[in-house]
C-alpha cells in the first residue's frame, strides 16, 4: 500500500476540482425530479408560475438585504471612529456589495444563467449609484446637523440604503439576472 502516492493523488484531484468549483463552472448533472401530483382528491397544488418565482426572489432579496444593511451599518459605525463619513461609507459599501451580490446570485436569482462576472459587473454599476446616494444622504445630514453622532449618521445611512435597495432589486431582476427562457 502506497500511502504517500495515494495522498499525493488525492491532493492533485482536490486541486483539479478546486478551480472549477471556485469559478462556478463545476457542474454536477442531477436527474430531474418528477412533478408533484396530488394524492388526495381535495388537494390543491401551488402554482409554480412567475408569481411563485417573484415571491421567492422578493423574500430572499429582503432577507439578504436586511443582513447586508445591518452589516454595512455595523461596519460603517466601526470605521467611522477612524475615518470621515465618505471613506467609511465607501469601504463598508464595497465589502457588503460584493457579499450581497454573491448571495443574491446564488440564492435569490439562482434560476438565472448570469455568470459571476456579469453579476458583479452589473452590481458594480449599481454600486456607484448606491455610493453617491448614501454618501450624499450622510453628508447632507452632517451638513444640516454638524453635531450629529455617528449613530445618527448610521441611521441616515440605513434609511438611504433602503431606497437604494428597492432600485437595486428592480435593476438586478430586469437587467442583470434576466430570467432564462425555457
Q: What is the pLDDT of residues 43-80, one digit of tens each?
A: 665 566 666 778 888 899 899 988 988 898 899 889 98
Check whether 144 has a pLDDT greater than 90: yes
37 compared with 172, residue with greater pLDDT: 172
| Average model confidence (pLDDT) across the chain | 82
Which of 61, 64, 108, 89 shows the shortest CA–CA distance to 156?
89
Which of 158, 161, 126, 135 shows the shortest CA–CA distance to 83?
135
Q: What is the pLDDT of residues 29-40, one digit of tens each?
A: 778 877 767 676
Look at residue 127 and give its three-state secondary structure: helix
* CA 94 and chain centroid, separation: 12
* Domain residue limits, the chain: 50-176
**Residue 67: predicted pLDDT:** 92
Which residues, other chains included, contact 131 with Cβ-Cβ below 8 Å and sequence gap of 6+?
89, 90, 93
Check whether 159 has a pLDDT greater than 80: yes
Contact 172, 109 (CB under 8 A): yes
Amino acid at each position: 500500500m502506497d500511502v504517500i502516492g495515494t495522498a499525493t493523488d488525492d491532493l492533485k484531484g482536490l486541486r483539479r476540482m478546486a478551480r472549477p468549483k471556485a469559478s462556478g463552472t463545476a457542474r454536477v448533472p442531477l436527474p430531474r425530479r418528477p412533478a408533484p401530483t396530488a394524492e388526495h382528491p381535495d388537494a390543491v397544488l401551488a402554482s409554480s408560475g412567475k408569481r411563485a418565482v417573484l415571491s421567492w426572489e422578493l423574500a430572499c432579496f429582503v432577507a439578504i438585504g436586511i443582513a447586508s444593511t445591518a452589516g454595512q451599518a455595523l461596519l460603517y459605525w466601526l470605521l467611522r471612529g477612524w475615518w470621515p463619513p465618505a471613506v467609511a461609507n465607501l469601504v463598508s459599501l464595497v465589502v457588503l456589495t460584493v457579499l450581497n451580490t454573491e448571495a443574491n446570485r446564488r440564492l435569490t436569482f439562482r434560476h438565472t444563467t448570469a455568470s459571476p462576472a456579469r453579476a458583479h459587473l452589473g452590481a458594480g454599476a449599481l454600486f456607484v449609484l448606491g455610493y453617491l446616494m448614501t454618501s450624499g444622504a450622510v453628508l447632507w445630514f452632517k451638513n444640516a446637523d454638524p453635531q450629529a453622532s455617528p449613530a445618527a449618521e448610521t441611521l441616515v445611512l440605513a434609511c438611504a440604503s433602503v431606497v437604494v435597495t428597492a432600485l437595486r432589486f428592480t435593476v438586478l431582476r430586469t437587467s442583470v439576472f434576466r430570467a432564462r427562457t425555457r
